[in-house]
Amino acid sequence: MPKYIDLTGKQFGRWRVIDYSHTDSNAYWNCVCECGRERRINGAMLRQSKSKSCGCIRNHGDRKRLERLHCIWCNMKRRCDNPGQKTWKYYGARGIKVFKGWLHDYPAFKVWALNNGYTKELSIDRIDNDGDYTPENCRWATSEEQANNKSSNIDWTFNGKTQNITQWGKETGILQSTLFSRYYSGWSIERILTTPVRKRNK
């Protein structure tokens, strides 16, 4: 297939190219739409933007395109599969992958989500930050729970209690920026957490 441009892995509208299919008068590619449907698409149609989706936008309108859970599914895949995404370095570049049973099957992901506590207030969170997006390693969490689970968090132990900076800030009432400033200035954990914040004169 040397005379054809390799489209594997590229995104065209809502289509993502999986791999080469066959050649008729033109090259055809196996593609998956963001809604989960798979089809064989003429490569020229993709490159010329004559085929942008399986028709789900036209058939289902903005409701399908803007469904929150569907957006979560799409963004999860982009973080792991698309080097052009700003967050890819934290996911795909680290080897984080999406469970094969979810990768091209939005309905399967939706069934899992609805059976495992999804609500519109929650977002998907990996229990082990070094693990993949799998049914066993994912949960639905609040923004605060997700912040507490970030791999970048620093844990401090004081008076027999271990918490991250977000939790210590909430307990002491000291701004996280102040806690970080004290930490990087070389203060001891005890001094960081027990020194009152000076009030500025107005």
Reported as a single tens digit per residue, the pLDDT across 178-198 is 887 787 778 999 999 999 887
Within 13 A of 1's CA, how many CA atoms are on the CB side? 17
Rounded Cα distance between 32 and 71, Å, is 15
Same domain for 95 and 139, yes or no, is: yes
- By residue range, what is the domain housing residue 24? 11-57
What amino acid is encoded at 193 in this protein? L
Q: Using one digit for the tens of pLDDT, what is the confidence trace for 51-103?
A: 888 776 655 444 444 478 888 898 899 899 988 887 888 889 989 999 999 99
Lowest mean pLDDT across 11-20, 85-94, 132-141, 145-154 = 145-154
Pick 5 or 105 by higher pLDDT: 105
| Residue 42 maps to a domain | yes
CB 92 within 8 A of CB 83: yes
Q: Evaluate whether residue 2 is within a structural domain.
A: no
Q: Which residues pair with 157 in a beta bridge?
A: 162
Q: Which of 3-7, 21-25, 28-32 has the lowest mean pLDDT?
A: 3-7
> Does residue 78 sit in the same domain as residue 144?
yes
Phi, psi of 137 (to 5 degrees): -105, 5
Question: Do 165 and 128 share a domain, yes or no?
Answer: no
Judge whether 35 lies within some domain. yes
In this structure, are 143 and 159 located in the same domain?
no
What average pLDDT is seen over the chain? 81
Number of folded domains that form the chain: 3
Same domain assignment for residues 127 and 188: no
